[in-house]
Structure 1
Amino acid sequence: MGTGVKQGNNGRLLLRNSLLVMAMALAAAAILWLTGRWLLQSDVFRLSDIRITGEQVTTERQILDLAGLQQGGSLLHFDAGAARARIEAHPWVERVEITTQWPSAVEIAVVEYQPFALVNVETGNKGHLYYLSRSGRLVAEMVEGQALDFPVITGVNSDRDIEAGAFVKGSPAELAVHLLQVAAKGNTVLPIQAVSEIHADRERGLILYLVDRPFPIYFGADRVQTKYYRLVRVLEQLYAKKLVDAVKEIRMDYLDDKVLVTGAQIDG
Structure 2
Amino acid sequence: MGEVENLRPMDLFDDPATRRAILKRQSVQRESEPILSRIWKVVHFTVSCFFKFSCLVVVLALISALFVFLYDNLLRSPYIRLERVVVLGVDDAMKEELLEMAQLDFEMSLFAVNMDEVKERVEKHPWVKSISLEKQFPHTLAIRVEREEPWAIVAGEKLRYMNRWGRIFKEVEDGDPIDFPIVTGIPVTGENTGRPVETAVQVLGVLDAEKGNWSMEHLAELHVRGDGSVYLYYPSLPCGVKVRADELASRMDDLKKVVEHLNRSGRIRTAKGINLEYADGAVVSFKKG
Measured against the shorter chain, the TM-score band is 0.7 to 0.9
Q: CA deviation at 1:28?
A: 2.0
Query: Which of 1 and 2 has greater Rg?
Result: 2
Question: How far does the alpha carbon of each residue in 1:165-222 deviate from its partner, in whole angstroms, 9 at most, with x for none?
Answer: xx422x3x53233211111114224111111011223469322111343322222454
Q: CA deviation at 1:151?
A: 0.5
- Percentage identity across aligned positions? 22
Q: Structure 1: how far apart are the matches of 2:277 and 2:52?
A: 97
- Judged with a 3 Å threshold, the aligned counterparts in structure 2 of structure 1 residues 57 and 205 are, in CA distance, closer, same or farther, namely farther
Answer 1 or 2: which has greater strand percent.
Answer: 1
The equivalent residue for 2:7 is none
The equivalent residue for 1:84 is 119
Q: Which amino acid aligns with 1:214?
A: P
Q: Structure 1: how far apart are the matches of 2:118 and 2:228?
A: 47
Q: Select which of 176, 180, 195 maps to 1:150.
A: 180
Q: Structure 1: how far apart are the matches of 2:131 and 2:202?
A: 27
**CA RMSD between the two structures:** 3.2
In terms of mean alpha carbon deviation, does 222-231 or 244-253 score higher? 244-253
Alignment: residue pair count: 252
Matches within 5 A, 1:134-149: 134-149=164-179
In terms of mean alpha carbon deviation, does 190-199 or 28-37 score higher? 28-37
Q: CA deviation at 1:231?
A: 1.8
The equivalent residue for 1:132 is 162
Q: CA deviation at 1:65?
A: 3.8
SS at match of 2:185: strand
The equivalent residue for 1:216 is 240
Q: Which amino acid aligns with 1:249?
A: K
Q: Which amino acid aligns with 1:135?
A: W
Q: Structure 2: how far apart are the matches of 1:25 and 1:113?
A: 52
Q: Structure 1: how far apart are the matches of 2:75 and 2:215?
A: 57
In terms of mean alpha carbon deviation, does 107-116 or 29-38 score higher? 29-38
Contact in 2 for aligned 1:200/1:206 (Cα 8 Å): yes
The equivalent residue for 1:168 is 194
Q: Which amino acid aligns with 2:194?
A: V
1:248 aligns with 2:271: yes
Q: Select which of 64, 85, 90 maps to 2:99.
A: 64
The equivalent residue for 1:120 is 155
For structure 2, the residue ranges without an aligned partner over 5 or more in a row are 1-35
Q: Structure 1: how far apart are the matches of 2:158 and 2:71?
A: 52
The equivalent residue for 2:9 is none
Contact in 2 for aligned 1:50/1:71 (Cα 8 Å): no
Contact in 2 for aligned 1:231/1:252 (Cα 8 Å): no
Matches within 5 A, 1:1-268: 13-14=48-49, 16-55=51-90, 59-121=94-156, 127-159=157-189, 167-169=193-195, 171=196, 173-202=197-226, 205-220=229-244, 222-236=246-260, 241=264, 243=266, 246-253=269-276, 255-262=278-285
Contact in 2 for aligned 1:95/1:111 (Cα 8 Å): yes
Question: How far does the alpha carbon of each residue in 1:13-38 deviate from its partner, in whole angstroms, 9 at most, with x for none?
Answer: 55554444344333323322221222
The equivalent residue for 1:124 is none
Q: Structure 1: how far apart are the matches of 2:73 and 2:277?
A: 79
Contact in 2 for aligned 1:98/1:107 (Cα 8 Å): yes
Q: Structure 2: how far apart are the matches of 1:116 and 1:34?
A: 53
**TM-score between the two structures when normalised by the length of structure 2:** 0.72
Q: Structure 1: how far apart are the matches of 2:69 and 2:107?
A: 21
- Judged with a 3 Å threshold, the aligned counterparts in structure 2 of structure 1 residues 134 and 247 are, in CA distance, closer, same or farther, namely farther
In terms of mean alpha carbon deviation, does 127-136 or 87-96 score higher? 87-96
Q: Which amino acid aligns with 2:64?
A: A
Q: Structure 2: how far apart are the matches of 1:176 and 1:23?
A: 69
